[in-house]
Structure 1
Amino acid sequence: MNVSARRRRRCLVSAPALALLIASAGCSSADEAAKPVVPTPDSKVTELCRNLHKQLPDKVDGLERADPEPESELTAGWGDPAIILRCGVAKPPEMNNPEADGVTVDGVNWLLEEQDDGSFRFTSTLRKAYVEITLPEERAGGGVGPLTDFAAPMKKAIPKGIA
């Protein structure tokens, strides 16, 4: 099987298969002391992100909300090590790759990128603002499960379209 065919198949992978993929990936530990950088989007995207912030759940994947510092309506977190959300991030360069891995969870499309530290970064696609969710390696064993908790808030606050 050639590389492009293999990539195409991974883009269409089911949620259970993706969970297994994530659970089996990476062995290095994440830097728990790292603090997320607060994005600096334009005013239109900032307003969308503020609307999303109001919709975010108190729990994600059963984890209590624990927002990172510095405090911002553009970032949020759950658990320790934290699942981190950043709203208003720049378009990732990987989105220009037609063979990039992606997943759709409850009607929200995400670019999937495995990081060198074993964590996974998901960035929303086909929405008016880019929202990034980072699952630390310790939280990646549940696959895309945490993304289900973001679907309803995303659909309410961030309209479909191109950012």
Structure 2
Amino acid sequence: MNFFRHRHTAAFGLPVLALLIAATGCSSADEEPSAAVPGPDAKVAKLCQNLDKALPEKVDDLDRNDPEPRSALTAGWGSPAIILRCGVERPAKMNDPNAYGADVDGVGWLVEEQDDGSYVFTTSLRKAYVEVRLPKERADEGAGPLTDFAGPVKKAIPEGIAD
């Protein structure tokens, strides 16, 4: 996957590693997407609700297609769906110096390629962790969808370290 092919994507060198694989699923094209709903504290949940209100109806020209169960902490676009989950746990190996990260329009993301060819991106240096799962079927298109999340994340999730 070429992260530097789309829009304003650039690498950064945060000492972080991407995520534990959470129980988030992207279903096949003939099924509804599903995603495990995170269980953050009230402060983070409020930030995530604000993010949900700011999210676009289209991401990378894909229509919004929210996963089941419906929640202000999860969102999806397309089929197979790009899935966003807000308020996820801090990745266990976030301080790994061999991690790969990317800065997309002012939002830092941890990057992890999964064994199945999909990608998981998680925001860094924000008051809440936001995870985006890009299914294998969309991985060849690059990290361009992250540009659609940059504005809403910057608006709703302040910079800082999540508790």
Query: What TM-score does the superposition give when structure 1 sets the normalisation length?
Result: 0.81
Secondary structure of the 2:123 match is strand
- Which residue is 1:159 aligned to? 158
**1:45 paired to 2:34:** no
Q: CA deviation at 1:31?
A: 5.1
Secondary structure of the 2:94 match is helix
**In structure 1, C-alpha distance between the alignment counterparts of 2:111 and 2:161, rounded to whole Å:** 18
After TM superposition, list the pairs within 5 Å mapping 1:132-151 onto structure 2.
132-151=131-150
**In structure 2, C-alpha distance between the alignment counterparts of 1:59 and 1:16, rounded to whole Å:** 20
**In structure 1, C-alpha distance between the alignment counterparts of 2:139 and 2:44, rounded to whole Å:** 28
- Which residue is 1:86 aligned to? 85
Query: What TM-score does the superposition give when structure 2 sets the normalisation length?
Result: 0.81
Secondary structure of the 1:148 match is helix
After TM superposition, list the pairs within 5 Å mapping 1:17-56 onto structure 2.
32=28, 35-56=34-55
Q: CA deviation at 1:14?
A: 6.6
**1:121 paired to 2:110:** no
Identity of aligned residues (%): 63
**In structure 1, C-alpha distance between the alignment counterparts of 2:128 and 2:35, rounded to whole Å:** 18
Number of residue pairs matched?
A: 140
**In structure 1, C-alpha distance between the alignment counterparts of 2:154 and 2:51, rounded to whole Å:** 9
**In structure 2, C-alpha distance between the alignment counterparts of 1:73 and 1:14, rounded to whole Å:** 28
Q: CA deviation at 1:94?
A: 3.0
- Give 1 or 2: higher strand fraction: 2
Q: CA deviation at 1:130?
A: 0.1
Q: CA deviation at 1:35?
A: 2.1
- Give 1 or 2: higher helix fraction: 1
- Which residue is 1:71 aligned to? 70
**In structure 2, C-alpha distance between the alignment counterparts of 1:14 and 1:75, rounded to whole Å:** 24
- Which residue is 1:5 aligned to? none
Unaligned stretches of 5+ residues in structure 1: 1-12, 20-29
After TM superposition, list the pairs within 5 Å mapping 1:57-68 onto structure 2.
57-68=56-67
Secondary structure of the 2:121 match is strand
Q: Which runs of 4+ in 1 moved over 6 A?
A: none
**Contact 2:3-2:142 at 8 Å conserved across structures:** no
Deviations 1:83-112 (A, max 9, x none): 000000001123121110100000000000
Q: CA deviation at 1:159?
A: 0.2
From the CA coordinates, give the structure whose radius of gyration is larger.
1
**In structure 2, C-alpha distance between the alignment counterparts of 1:51 and 1:141, rounded to whole Å:** 31
